[in-house]
Amino acid sequence: MKMHGLGNDFVVVDARAQSLEMTESLARALGDRHRGVGFDQLAIVSRNHSVADVYLTFYNSDGSTAGACGNATRCIARYLMDETGDETLSLETEHGILFAKNMGDQITSINMGHPDLGWQEIPLSQNIDTLELPIDGSPTATGMGNPHCTFFVDDVDAIDLETQGPAFEHHPLYPERTNVQFAQIVGADHIRMRVWERGVGVTLASGSSSCATAVAAARRGLTGRTVRIDLDGGTLHIDWRDDGVWMTGGTMHVFSGTLTQNFLDSLQ
């Protein structure tokens, strides 16, 4: 299936009935926007003997794995709730078990879990204060299943993401690379943000990045714990509660399809 959350687009493979062996090369081929399907992330939905309703595995378009993908999780939750009629469900990821709720009018809310704020959990390569890193611009480090590096700037639209993003993605402080966000406070509890995702590049939106930015802004006293975040692809609402970081927004299931044998054979 092809799905997107605010233009952050995904290929979702439903492997609940038939197991799928995904490889790095197959993920890259599917992610090719000219010769494959194209996506920011690939998600595999499986049973996997999980204690949750389903287990989710994520890949970036370069074939690397990702521990979490908030917008894809919302898309899959919406698909499953439409399928079953359930108002709530649980989805297990590498980051833990995440809980979803139907908010009505095709709006879905996901609890992305508690943020990682310690340097070892994010992880960083040094024992340093994660609130303001010793990097030009003093960004904040946060873990939301993936590592994040959030810069607060005066004009987010003036940032050259194509240059700045990869430079910080591969910063030595981040041994597993990092997602990079540039955020601007535009009003009370209102943030404008743009994203560079590790292993992908510029994306129109990112759920885990939005959660990380909301947490960083609250930690720095720039906002409260409930914020609106406007991304290039649309708006998400983030609420950092005692039970975790909740993310709420819309999703779209674009089409369902079948990979041809000819395509699969071409990868051999």
Domain 2-112+251-266: which topology? Diaminopimelate Epimerase; Chain A, domain 1 (3.10.310)
CATH 3.10.310.10 intervals, the chain: 2-112+251-266, 140-242
Antiparallel, parallel or unpaired: β 147-152 and 179-187:
parallel
The angle formed by the CA atoms of residues 92, 243 and 146, to the nearest 5 degrees, is 50
49 pLDDT more than 80: no
Cα–Cα distance for residue pair 268/264, rounded to 1 Å: 7
Domain 140-242: which topology? Diaminopimelate Epimerase; Chain A, domain 1 (3.10.310)
Average pLDDT over residues 109-122: 97
Q: Which residue has the tokens 């959990």?
A: 121
Average pLDDT over residues 21-31: 93
Answer yes or no: pTM beyond 0.85: yes
Per-residue pLDDT tens over the stretch 173-187: 999 999 999 999 999
Average pLDDT over residues 235-260: 97
63 pLDDT more than 90: yes
Cα–Cα distance for residue pair 127/256, rounded to 1 Å: 46
Element (H, E) at 161: helix 161-169
Average pLDDT over residues 96-121: 96
Provide the percentage of residues in the chain whose pLDDT is more than 70: 100
Antiparallel, parallel or unpaired: β 54-60 and 88-93:
parallel
Instruction: Report which residue type is found at 133.
Output: L
pLDDT classification of 48: cutoffs 50, 70, 90: confident
Antiparallel, parallel or unpaired: β 41-46 and 234-241:
unpaired
